[in-house]
């Protein structure tokens, strides 16, 4: 049995997220369907990040077991012929036996795009959150830097998360881009459910002037979900890359 | 009677181009429908560039006559409520009497996006031409510079054009962006039908190594459409801005 590692990009607009759900179009569903001709039993694909409905990927990583002698290049081409155009396999390679895309991930990077213009640009409407009010990018950048390091991110975790610990380490957390296009880039050793979107919700409220920069520290230290702002919408978020 | 000037952005993917056609969804059609409540007769909207099916706009300019006292701000908001999300009015202003978006345009800028990666990125599939083969950007840039100045662009004109002269002046013609994302940016005092897409078709063939840089000069001087390469696909093209 070989262990395969795929790198995927997808436009999450027309998907009900990564994870297979009966009667829903999911990335896992279309990928496993494309893989079906390479095995008699179901091939179960594990993703580094189980992205929610509407969330995109530029470098999602997927692992699965394969009992087939096809070359990685031929597999990549065959999958891209079978997959719909909103999902592409960017890379296919053999991984060490037992490699697991989620359990072995060391760092993940997410990008969150904001279109901060008076009127939403149609071209980015599925890929950026349109925030009409002028944002103070200096304040947002200062607040973003506060979360760098190891912290308990319970305040930014979706209710109903089932993880053992809510401590995570953040390596970079910053805003890039030229107004009106802003991108929040965050790299960490792991992320809780909705964590990036909850961080962005609070950072944007700071950018709008609803709170001071130090509010970020207070919310973080409170470990209280009710102190953070509303979750930013899914369509601004992209799983950018995963390191092993 | 007032003369109104609108600046529009649209995602051309789901439109059969700018120009009204029976039974087709066009930008002119949805805009005139949104304008219908401001007049008893049809309001005819004139666009600076009559973009083809699949072509986008970031700064299309439109003019029309209006007999209504609504403020420009209220008109902008009312139109954006009535328009579908793939068209937005970015700006609405009163223009000098007799202003015509097409006849009075002095300069237009088009951007043409190319995704030069081995596998097409799903996120840009409606906004960039996917060219798989490695492109020599230096050669393409050198060839692009050849067309700067006033020339007869008959070789790059779609057959069936009905213009009096095919002479146009090009002010800038260059490639920008970080690979694998390339953007060809061209500004001129006017463009013939399919001219930008025909220029890009030939420039990409030079980038692929099919022709030398000097081929661009030979095609231009030939004034012979059959010497230029195939027309690049519409979905890479955006009417970026119009100057008056």
Is the CB of A85 less than 8 angstroms away from the CB of B10?
no
Whether residue A179 is predicted with pLDDT greater than 90 in this model: the reply is no
Q: What is the mean pLDDT of residues A229-234?
A: 97
The pLDDT mean for chain A works out to 96
Cβ–Cβ under 8 Å, residues A114 and A131: yes
Is the CB of B123 less than 8 angstroms away from the CB of A85?
no
B160 to chain A, closest Cα gap in Å: 31
User: Which of B56, B88, B122 has the CB atom closest to A120's CB atom?
Assistant: B88
The pair of three-digit structure tokens given for residue A166, joined into one six-digit string: 């809510």
Cβ–Cβ under 8 Å, residues A4 and A94: yes
Whether residue A163 is predicted with pLDDT greater than 80 in this model: the reply is no
Is the CB of A88 less than 8 angstroms away from the CB of B122?
yes
Q: Chains A and B: how many Cβ contacts under 8 Å?
A: 57
In whole angstroms, give the CA distance from residue A22 to residue A20. 7
Is the CB of B121 less than 8 angstroms away from the CB of A10?
no
> A64 and chain B: CB distance < 8 Å anywhere?
no
Residues of chain B with Cβ-Cβ distance to A76 below 8 Å are: 119
> A87 and chain B: CB distance < 8 Å anywhere?
yes
Cβ–Cβ under 8 Å, residues B95 and B105: no
Residue B161: what pLDDT? 62
The pair of three-digit structure tokens given for residue B156, joined into one six-digit string: 């790059």
In whole angstroms, give the CA distance from residue B185 to residue B78. 33
Cβ–Cβ under 8 Å, residues A236 and A113: yes
The pair of three-digit structure tokens given for residue B113, joined into one six-digit string: 């996006």
**pLDDT one-digit tens code per residue, A150-159:** 999 999 998 7
The strand pairing partners of B239, in sequence order, are B57, B110
Residues of chain A with Cβ-Cβ distance to B10 below 8 Å are: 122
> B169 and chain A: CB distance < 8 Å anywhere?
no
**pLDDT one-digit tens code per residue, A7-43:** 999 999 999 999 999 999 999 999 999 999 999 999 9
Q: Of B11, B52, B86, B94, which one is the catalytic site residue?
A: B52
Q: How confident is the model at residue A233 (pLDDT cuts 50, 70, 90)?
A: very high
Is the CB of B10 less than 8 angstroms away from the CB of A122?
yes
Is the CB of B120 less than 8 angstroms away from the CB of A86?
no
Residue B57: what pLDDT? 98
Cβ–Cβ under 8 Å, residues A118 and A132: yes
Among B7, B73, B115, B123, which would you mutate to test the A interface (most chain A Cβ atoms within 10 Å of its Cβ)? B123
Which residues in chain A (114-143) have CB-CB distances under 8 A to chain B? 118-123, 125, 127
The pair of three-digit structure tokens given for residue A130, joined into one six-digit string: 């349109």
In whole angstroms, give the CA distance from residue B127 to residue A222. 44
Q: How confident is the model at residue A161 (pLDDT cuts 50, 70, 90)?
A: low
In whole angstroms, give the CA distance from residue A32 to residue B235. 30
Enumerate long-range contacts of B210-213, CB under 8 Å, 24 or more apart.
B212/B139, B213/B139, B213/B142, B213/B143, B213/B146
User: Which of B85, B119, B127 has the CB atom closest to A80's CB atom?
Assistant: B119
pTM here is 0.93
Q: Is B188 helix (H, G, I), strand (E, B) or coil?
A: strand
Whether residue A162 is predicted with pLDDT greater than 70 in this model: the reply is no
Q: What angle do CA A113, A120, B183 make, to 5 degrees?
A: 65
Q: What is the mean pLDDT of residues A79-102?
A: 97
In whole angstroms, give the CA distance from residue A5 to residue A10. 16
In whole angstroms, give the CA distance from residue A15 to residue B101. 40
The pair of three-digit structure tokens given for residue A179, joined into one six-digit string: 């107004």
Among B6, B56, B119, B132, which would you mutate to test the A interface (most chain A Cβ atoms within 10 Å of its Cβ)? B119
DSSP state of A138: H
In the 3-class helix/strand/coil scheme, how is A146-208 assigned residue by residue?
CCCEEEECHHHCCCCCCCCCCEEEEEEEEEECCCCEEEEEEEECCCCCCHHHHHHHHHHHHHC
B126 to chain A, closest Cα gap in Å: 9
Sign of dihedral through CA atoms A183, A186, A191, A195? negative
Q: What is the mean pLDDT of residues A173-193?
A: 96
Residue B112 buriedness (CB in 10 A; 0-12 / 13-18 / 19+): buried
Q: Of A52, A178, A214, A243, which one is the catalytic site residue?
A: A52
A130 to chain B, closest Cα gap in Å: 12
Q: Tell me, yes or no, if B136 is annotated catalytic.
A: no
Helix, strand and coil percent figures for chain B, each rounded to 5: 30, 30, 45
ipTM exceeding 0.95?
no
> B92 and chain A: CB distance < 8 Å anywhere?
no
Residue with token string 């209280």: A224
Instruction: Give 10-residue mean pLDDT values along chain B (244 residues).
Output: 97 97 96 95 96 97 96 98 98 97 97 97 97 97 98 90 86 95 97 97 98 98 95 98 98
């Amino acid at each position: 049995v070989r262990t395969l590692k795929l790198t995927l990009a997808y436009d999450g607009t027309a998907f009900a997220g990564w994870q297979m759900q009966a009667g829903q179009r999911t990335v896992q569903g279309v990928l496993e369907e494309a893989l079906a001709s390479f095995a008699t039993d179901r091939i179960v694909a594990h993703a580094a990040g189980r992205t929610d409905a509407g969330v995109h990927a530029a470098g999602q990583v997927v692992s699965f077991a394969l009992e087939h002698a096809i070359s990685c290049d031929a597999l990549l081409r065959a999958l891209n012929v079978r997959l719909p155009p909103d999902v592409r396999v960017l890379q296919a390679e053999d991984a060490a036996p037992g490699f697991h895309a989620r359990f072995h991930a060391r760092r993940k990077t997410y990008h969150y795009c904001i279109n901060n213009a008076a009127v939403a640009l149609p071209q980015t409407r599925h890929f950026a959150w349109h925030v009409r009010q002028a944002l103070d990018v200096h304040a947002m950048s200062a607040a973003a830097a506060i979360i760098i390091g190891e912290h308990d991110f319970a305040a930014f975790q979706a209710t109903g998360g089932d993880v053992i610990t809510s401590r995570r380490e953040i390596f970079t957390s910053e805003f890039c881009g030229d107004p009106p296009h802003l991108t929040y880039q965050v790299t960490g050793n792991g992320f809780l459910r909705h964590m990036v979107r909850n961080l962005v919700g609070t950072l944007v409220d700071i950018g709008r002037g609803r709170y001071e920069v130090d509010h970020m520290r207070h919310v973080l230290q409170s470990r209280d979900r009710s102190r953070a702002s509303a979750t930013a919408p899914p369509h601004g978020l992209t799983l950018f890359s995963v390191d092993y």
